[in-house]
Amino acid sequence: MEYYNYIKSLHLIFVITWFAGLFYIVRLFVYQIEANDKISPEKEILQKQYKIMTYRLWYIITWPSAILASLFAIWLLILMPAWLQMPWMHVKLGFVVILIAYQLKCHQIYNQLQNNIFNHSSNFMRLWNEGATLILFAVVFLVILKNAFNWIYGVLGIFLFSIVIMLGFKFYKRIRENNKS
């Protein structure tokens, strides 16, 4: 138990770098998709650079952070098995499963873009980028409050936060479109 705080600190550091990687990778997807609409030679130059950047981010930061955050989390659960009896931990682990599914979907998109397959628009990617934000908000509040919160307030809060994000996205999209004119 003397190493508990070190393990917890390392878990938190790798959770932060994991989320940083997820936030940035989708932003790079947006740029890569938008670069596909450019004319030559700009298109090829940008595509090549974004492929390098996404590769490095994905395999040097994001995946290793996800694995290390998970390993340190398992270690913490071994040290504190009573946490597995707490309802808030069950909910947190549910969000972790959703986060892993989100990362696996990002990995699928990453592979498609590395092979010049563009199945999504940049606007879709901008919205997709908010998925990690919603998961982060839910997990942080859950861990800090250590309560599976009152589900009515929790669901309402996440729903309202999602509406605010959507409105912000529409506002930003309007500004971008006006600046193009």
Q: Give residue-wise pLDDT tens across range 10-42.
A: 999 999 999 999 999 999 999 999 999 999 999
Mean pLDDT of the chain: 90
> Is residue 6 classed exposed, middle or buried when 0-12, 13-18 and 19+ CB atoms within 10 A define those classes?
exposed
- Residue 11 labeled ligand binder: yes
- Which residues lie closer than 8 Å to 75 by C-beta, 6 or more apart? 7, 11
**Distance between CA atoms of 151 and 153, rounded to whole angstroms?**
5
Q: How many CB atoms lie within 10 A of CB 35?
A: 19
Structure tokens of 91? 């909910």
Instruction: Tell me what the mean pLDDT of segment 157-180 comes to.
Output: 78
- Residue 90 labeled ligand binder: no
**Domain boundaries in the chain?**
4-149
Query: Is residue 155 over pLDDT 80?
Result: no
Q: How many CB atoms lie within 10 A of CB 9?
A: 11
Above pLDDT 90, what percent of the chain?
65
Greatest pairwise CA separation for the chain in angstroms: 62
Distance of CA 124 to the CA centre of its chain: 15
148: phi then psi, degrees, rounded to nearest 5: -75, 30
| Residue of higher predicted confidence among 177 and 5 | 5
